[in-house]
A = this chain, B = another copy of it.
Amino acid sequence: MSPSLHPFHPLTPNEISKAAAVVRPLFAGQNPSFRVITLREPLKNEMVPFLESEHRGETPGIRPARVARVQVTIPGELGSGKFFELLVDLDQNAVVRREHLVGKHPYIDSSYMQSVEKACMADERIQTEIRKLDLPANASVIVEPWAYATDGLNDMSQRTTMCWFYMRLLQNKDANYYAYPLDLCAEVSEQLQVTKIYHLPSAKDERIREDAKPFDHRKIHSTAASEYHPSLRPAPRTTVKPYQVVQPEGPSFTTQGNFVQWEKWSMHVGFNYREGLTLHDICYDGRSMFYRLSLAEMFVPYGDPRAPFPRKAAFDLGNDGAGINANNLRLGCDCLGLIKYFDGWHTTSSGEPLKLPNVICCHEQDDGILWKHTNFRTENAVVTRARILVLQTIITVSNYEYIFNFQFGQDASIHYEVRATGILSTGPINIGDRVPWGTIVAPGVVAPYHQHLFSLRIDPALDGHANSLQVEESNPLPVDDPSIHNPFGVGYTTSSQIATEEGGLDLDFTKNRTFKIINENVTNPITGTPVGFKLLPSYSQMLLSHPQSYHARRSEFASHAVWVTRYDDDELFPAGKYTMQSTGGDGIASAIESRRKDPAGKASVRNEDIVIWHTFGSTHNPRIEDWPVMPSDKMTVGLKPVNFFTGNPGIDVPVSTQEKNQSVLVQDKGKSGPGCCKL
């Protein structure tokens, strides 16, 4: 390993090969398949001293060991396959931990899913059922395999795959087959055997059936309404004139490997197969703010109560992987202006490094006005524009797309924006029928209600690692308490509590409830209050599934909007480490509960190294406007300094001038004098 490589730097191709080389002999002759070779991030107690000397500008003494986390599966007959996780010390070339994961499953293997599709289509009974449907001559059948969401009806120690069927009417392989769902369903076993075949309910009170109904040809609607691919659409609108971002003097950011610096910000960009983009040691003007920011999990349960639909509930990080499914971002398509790309590295099943090109992009955006004031006495206006640095990754999870953005501001604010786009998951329904848990988006096509629930993991380090969570509310002063002076009934103040124990908390905008991460050991010299950051939450409905349901037990984070926990090196995933066919009980709530029971459990969270988890998302009851491809649905979470600095961190941003901005007047009527541009 190159000595200059930063401990937060993802594994290099060489390190991946090295880790595989160390592990391979242990499974000689067993045909091991490498599922994961990724950085086991440095232990915090080793990393903190390293960062402290780095922040002081000194050469750090001891470097934390470079350790690879490796996941291997060993194929076996009749479910005797095995799943191992190993830690490999890359400095020692040694396996330092080896765990046989019994009853756990690795994340989705796309090549295995392809074999599932083939096995399904090769099955004679399925071919018979397809024939019974009597589909149009030109139709080709598409099998869409999904991970099985635990519902208690099958043994979860074995991997089972749900196969949904669609039909493609056009020869063009980019045709939108989700527009033609078939009422057929199959289950495929670990050993690629089709274990069950049945027909889906196609009316509200129908249940799964043995018998096939011939395909209702009225379901064949105009592709014009169901296609999104330009090659299958009428010519697009011609009214959109080009819009280009020009940065004549280059970007305002600099990168050195994965280390990014921009407008007083500095951070390390990380990437792994599961979380995709991660950010480390985020500082502003040399001051430590956050140790790590990451999207930790997301859960997408569907609301159709009828079997087998409760099996549609995706952990898009734990099961699919935001890294492995990250798009190869293309210049001029996904961003404007000057774009810097980062590649990711993964592993092939044989343990060779696999490049994931352009999985992260880094660029600047104008964000309107940062601050403005006009002195009404002198009529002198001063205005500055806001520039943001965007670190973006986009993932495709079969039908859906998610666009994830970390946005850094010159006012030391951070915003995390999620955009949901892509294609709705669909099911069959009789023409003329309706269901109360879905929207008809095309004749015979229902898009079921579902939720998108994200967990943003915030590992703060505000002027150090001992931080607290303060919950503040704004309350009217009483009018009937003689001891309180409020003669006009208009006074209000704030009350606040500091969380002392781990747990989940809820939002309440009616009280202006504000969640602040503070450092009680550092007092702002002017305000006299602890330095802090506040969470600008995304107000969202929590999980609708019953607390006793498998959905709820598997996605523990989805029951509260804000969680506070004591930092633990191994606690990165609020629905548990192994979500694939999980049966619940290993998420954030269970971890908290077990620490609470454990006498040695570190449950105190006041003035400790804590982690804040924000659950947010949307209850997505589809609109037909989301069809055939969905306009981005935006959700934003913010982090803003609250009495962290001694003034507006963006006060020194240069004023906006026409000389620099080169705007152009359209049909000039009003005089456009120099005004605020003249300074």
User: Looking across the interface, which residue of chain B has its beta carbon closest to that of A655?
Assistant: B230
Question: In the bound complex, do residue A670 and residue B411 qualify as a contact, i.e. CB atoms below 8 Å apart?
Answer: no
Task: Write out the residue numbers on chain B whose beta carbons fall within 8 Å of the beta carbon of A228.
Answer: 371, 373, 382, 648, 651
Within 8 A of B (CB), among A631-662: 631-632, 640-662
- Interface assignment of A182: CB less than 8 Å from any CB of chain B: no
- Chain A 499-541, CB-CB to B under 8 Å as 1, else 0, gives 0000000110111100000000000101110000000000111
- Interface assignment of A217: CB less than 8 Å from any CB of chain B: no
A627-B256 Cα distance, complex, nearest whole Å: 34
Partner-binding segment picked from A36-44, A88-96, A361-369: A361-369
- Interface assignment of A608: CB less than 8 Å from any CB of chain B: no
Task: Write out the residue numbers on chain B whose beta carbons fall within 8 Å of the beta carbon of A544.
Answer: 474-476, 490, 492
Partner-binding segment picked from A21-29, A190-198, A418-426: A418-426
Question: In the bound complex, do residue A332 and residue B247 qualify as a contact, i.e. CB atoms below 8 Å apart?
Answer: no
Extra pairs beyond A511-B541, A512-B619 (15, CB < 8 Å): A236-B655, A241-B250, A241-B252, A243-B247, A243-B337, A243-B366, A244-B660, A305-B477, A327-B381, A332-B663, A357-B670, A371-B422, A440-B526, A510-B541, A625-B649
Question: In the bound complex, do residue A338 and residue B487 qualify as a contact, i.e. CB atoms below 8 Å apart?
Answer: no
CB distance from A277 to the nearest CB of B (A): 15
Our pick among B305, B332, B545, B673 for the contact of A330 (Cβ within 8 Å) is: B673
Task: Write out the residue numbers on chain B whose beta carbons fall within 8 Å of the beta carbon of A151.
Answer: 488
- Interface assignment of A293: CB less than 8 Å from any CB of chain B: no
Question: In the bound complex, do residue B370 and residue A330 qualify as a contact, i.e. CB atoms below 8 Å apart?
Answer: no
A386-B652 Cα distance, complex, nearest whole Å: 31
Task: Write out the residue numbers on chain B whose beta carbons fall within 8 Å of the beta carbon of A225.
Answer: 646-647
Task: Write out the residue numbers on chain B whose beta carbons fall within 8 Å of the beta carbon of A421.
Answer: 369, 371-373
| Known contacts A305-B487, A368-B632, A670-B357; A527 and B440 CB within 8 A of each other | yes
Give 13 pairs: A residue, B residue, CB < 8 Å, sorted on A: A225-B647, A230-B654, A240-B263, A301-B490, A306-B485, A332-B659, A333-B655, A338-B664, A357-B670, A371-B631, A437-B491, A443-B526, A627-B647
CB distance from A406 to the nearest CB of B (A): 14
CB distance from A661 to the nearest CB of B (A): 4
A149-B340 Cα distance, complex, nearest whole Å: 54
Count of this chain's copies in the oligomeric assembly:
2
Our pick among B334, B410, B661 for the contact of A332 (Cβ within 8 Å) is: B661
Question: In the bound complex, do residue A632 and residue B370 qualify as a contact, i.e. CB atoms below 8 Å apart?
Answer: yes
Question: In the bound complex, do residue B488 and residue A310 qualify as a contact, i.e. CB atoms below 8 Å apart?
Answer: yes
Question: In the bound complex, do residue A666 and residue B339 qualify as a contact, i.e. CB atoms below 8 Å apart?
Answer: yes
A671-B358 Cα distance, complex, nearest whole Å: 8
A656-B238 Cα distance, complex, nearest whole Å: 13
Question: In the bound complex, do residue A240 and residue B387 qualify as a contact, i.e. CB atoms below 8 Å apart?
Answer: yes
Q: Which of A434, A436, A649 has the most CB of B within 10 A?
A: A436
Question: In the bound complex, do residue A489 and residue B548 qualify as a contact, i.e. CB atoms below 8 Å apart?
Answer: yes
Question: In the bound complex, do residue B624 and residue A526 qualify as a contact, i.e. CB atoms below 8 Å apart?
Answer: yes
| Known contacts A490-B303, A526-B624; A243 and B387 CB within 8 A of each other | yes
Question: In the bound complex, do residue A246 and residue B246 qualify as a contact, i.e. CB atoms below 8 Å apart?
Answer: yes
Question: In the bound complex, do residue A173 and residue B655 qualify as a contact, i.e. CB atoms below 8 Å apart?
Answer: no
Question: In the bound complex, do residue B679 and residue A231 qualify as a contact, i.e. CB atoms below 8 Å apart?
Answer: yes
Question: In the bound complex, do residue B488 and residue A245 qualify as a contact, i.e. CB atoms below 8 Å apart?
Answer: no
Task: Write out the residue numbers on chain B whose beta carbons fall within 8 Å of the beta carbon of A57.
Answer: none
Question: In the bound complex, do residue A632 and residue B357 qualify as a contact, i.e. CB atoms below 8 Å apart?
Answer: no
A352-B674 Cα distance, complex, nearest whole Å: 27
A631-B653 Cα distance, complex, nearest whole Å: 11
CB distance from A334 to the nearest CB of B (A): 6
| Known contacts A488-B151, A526-B624; A240 and B255 CB within 8 A of each other | no
Task: Write out the residue numbers on chain B whose beta carbons fall within 8 Å of the beta carbon of A334.
Answer: 369, 372, 383, 656, 676
Task: Write out the residue numbers on chain B whose beta carbons fall within 8 Å of the beta carbon of A398.
Answer: 376
Question: In the bound complex, do residue B255 and residue A239 qualify as a contact, i.e. CB atoms below 8 Å apart?
Answer: no
Task: Write out the residue numbers on chain B whose beta carbons fall within 8 Å of the beta carbon of A662.
Answer: 242, 244, 332
- Interface assignment of A471: CB less than 8 Å from any CB of chain B: no
A364-B237 Cα distance, complex, nearest whole Å: 17
- Interface assignment of A18: CB less than 8 Å from any CB of chain B: no
